Amino acid sequence: MNYAEIRAHLRQPLYETPQSSIILTMQNTIYALHNYEFIRISGADRISFLQGQLSCNTDLLSAGRSLTGALCNLKGRVIADFRLVEHSEDIIMQCAAGMADKILATLSKYAVFSKVDLSQLPSKDNSAPVALGIIGKGIGAALSILALDLPENNDGVSSSATSTVVRVSGLSERIEIWMHTQVAAEQLLATLEEEKSDDLEPWLRADIEAGIVHVTPKLSEEFTPQLLNYDLSGLIDFKKGCYTGQEIVARMFYRGTAKRRLQLASSSHCISESSKVVVRAGEGSGEDILVFSNAGVTDPLLLAVLPVQATDSAERMALSDNAESDVCIRALPYMTD
The amino acid occupying position 27 is: Q
pLDDT at 29: 80
The pTM of this model reads 0.89
Tell which residue, 319, 329, 244, 245, has the closest CA to residue 286: 319
Determine contact, residues 130/114, Cβ cutoff 8 Å.
no
Buried b (16+ CB within 10 A) or exposed e, 168-186: bbbeeebbbbbbbbbbbbe
Tell which residue, 100, 139, 106, 102, has the closest CA to residue 122: 100
pLDDT at 14: 31
Angle, helices 3-10 vs 182-192, to 10°: value is 160
**Domain annotation for the chain: domains and CATH numbers:** 3-208 (3.30.1360.120), 259-335 (2.40.30)
Tell which residue, 37, 27, 33, 38, has the closest CA to residue 199: 33
* Paired sense of beta strands 327-330 and 287-293, if any: unpaired
Residues 6+ apart with CB under 8 A from 69: 54, 55, 56, 81, 82, 84, 235, 236, 237
pLDDT in tens, 260-292: 999 999 999 999 999 999 986 656 689 999 999
The confidence band for 10, taking pLDDT boundaries of 50, 70 and 90, is very low
- E strands, 9-88, in order: 30-32, 36-42, 67-72, 78-87
Tell which residue, 6, 36, 46, 257, has the closest CA to residue 147: 6
d(CA 104, CA 84): 14
d(CA 132, CA 164): 10
pLDDT in tens, 35-87: 999 999 999 999 999 999 999 999 999 999 999 999 999 999 999 999 999 99
